[in-house]
Structure 1
Amino acid sequence: MNTIYRLLLVTSFFISQNNNAQKRIALFNQKDLKGWYAFGEEKGKANNASELFSVENNMIRMYGPKAGYLMSEQSFRNFELTVEFRWNTDSQFAKKSNSKNSGVMYLVPSETPDFLWPKGIQFQIKEGASGDFVLLQEVTLNINGTKTEAGKSVVSKRFADAEKPIGEWNKLQVISKNGVITQKLNGKLVNKGIESSVTEGRILLQYEGYPIDFRKVCIKKIK
């Protein structure tokens, strides 16, 4: 009887661990910017992220005359990241540039200092180029059998186009597992690499000068 009880406890433990590993975590609570800090090219780091960016109608709204970003306080390894985004074309929102250019960075090491733009991998969000890899500050990947060169900002183009028309919501997904990186846009594979030189780090939402909205920022830990 004791043996059976112990087996049941062990089984229950592993089921619980598996469920926890598969649980999706909302990094954005749709109410405020708790869990994030901001960095701007003029103000520097702001622990109160609302000093630089805002939340409205369950969206993160990034706009203004200066570039910057939101950085997650948490760091992650082996995960599936999901983010929804759209360009904000409302003329009432201040902007730095007319170029529709932004991105979601991931695997930004916790020891990396804040500046524009830190070490990590970027899912490029850019009119006509969404889905490209941008490898920043010496990060490398092996893509289609070739290792990328280490550099300040190295672009590896997407395999396919999948961005929706301007103004519509897009859904990006990043799967990072033991150095294998997969990027999807609106359900379509747009990029993939292996042997990533970074395997753990934070999530970063970029504002490069054209207003952009983010929502449903979620992450799921995977084995």
Structure 2
Amino acid sequence: MPLRPLAVFALLSVAAIAAEPVQLFNGVNLDGWHIDVPAMDQDPSVPTPFIIRDGKLVSLAHTGGHIITDATYADYRLEIDYRFAAKPGNCGALVHVSTPRALYGMFPRSIEAQMMSGNAGDFWCIVLDITVPDMEARRGPPEEWGVTEGKKRRIMNLTDNSENPPGEWNNMTIECVGAEIKVWVNGDLVNHGHDCGATSGQIALQAEGAEVEFRKVALTTIATLSE
């Protein structure tokens, strides 16, 4: 059940009521999450790319896949503290996750908030679409847009230089309310989409070729009341 509201703040014509944040990762084990790594299906000896180390959730670089919440969520603010533990590379946080392995036999249907070093805050459409201002400038020719293999699925972010230097911690905040998704990186609004094709789903983190540490994965439920 959704958490009951404790604090109130207004934004334009919508009153948003936010509960206390809940830590989705407890620092001890992976309770509340499950791992989806296709290579592990094919070969049970393949080690998991998601481990606990020094109280942190670590996405290792050796095998591609996702760690996905068991629960589904709607109308929330997700705060993630992450850093590339070694060489900067690629990773992402996925929201509104549903059908597993819907793209390239790997990626679940979702909207990805990109964490790739140098591109944090890009949207990637994974069998699920979203609209932003200046779509042609940020996505390319409309006839090439799409959400499946071979289509232009990347929507570039709004800012440069929002990320901290390699090795330092970054904060990514993703707010999903109704059909809107907003993304901040270290306090900068880096993307804002609307008319998303889903308004709820699971949450996932990637293993995609670079070692990434997560020290915080916290979710605050938001209830919205039209004034």
Shorter-chain TM-score bucket reads 0.7 to 0.9
Unpaired segments ≥5 residues, structure 2: 7-16, 140-144
- Secondary structure of 2:73 counterpart: strand
Distance 2:109 2:80 in 1: 20
Taking only the aligned residue pairs, the percentage that are identical comes to 25
Whether 1:17 aligns to 2:4 is yes
Larger Rg: 1
**1:39 maps onto 2:36 in alignment:** yes
What is the deviation of 1:145?
A: 6.3
Structure 1 residue aligned with 2:130: 141
| Cα deviation, residue 220, structure 1 | 0.7
Q: 1:60 to 1:196 in 2, by over 3 A?
A: same
- Structure 1 residues 217 and 99: CA distance shift in structure 2, 3 A: closer
**Matched residue, 1:157:** 156
SS class of match (1:43): helix
Q: Name the structure with the higher helix share.
A: 1
Looking at structure 2, the residues matched to 122 and 72 of structure 1 have their Cα atoms a distance apart, in angstroms, of 15
| Deviation for aligned residue 1:64 | 4.2
Taking a change above 3 Å as real, the CA distance of residues 41 and 21 of structure 1, as seen in their structure-2 partners, is: same
* Contact 1:99 1:209 survives alignment (8 Å): no
Q: Distance in 2 between matches of 1:132 and 1:208?
A: 16
- 8 Å contact kept, 1:142–1:196: yes
In structure 1, list runs of 5 or more residues that go unmatched: 1-15, 90-97
Task: Please give the alpha-carbon distance, in whole angstroms, between the structure 2 residues aligned to 1:57 and 1:18.
Answer: 33
Indicate the SS of the match to 2:31: coil
**1:68 CA displacement:** 1.4
Counterpart contact for 1:130–1:158, Cα < 8 Å: yes
Inter-partner Cα distance in structure 1 for 2:88 and 2:165: 15
Give 1:125's aligned residue: 115
Given that residues 181 and 193 in structure 2 are in contact (C-alpha distance below 8 angstroms), is that contact kept between their aligned partners in structure 1?
Answer: yes
Q: Any conservation in 2 of the 1:41–1:66 contact (CA below 8 Å)?
A: no
Distance 2:121 2:61 in 1: 24
Match of 2:197 in 1: 197
Q: Secondary structure at 2:78's aligned position in 1?
A: strand
Cα drift, residue 135 of structure 1: 0.8
TM-score scaled by length of structure 2: 0.78
Q: TM-score, normalised by structure 1?
A: 0.80
The answer to whether structure 1 residue 87 and structure 2 residue 84 are counterparts is yes
What code does the residue aligned with 1:206 have?
Answer: Q
- RMSD between superposed Cα atoms in Å: 2.2
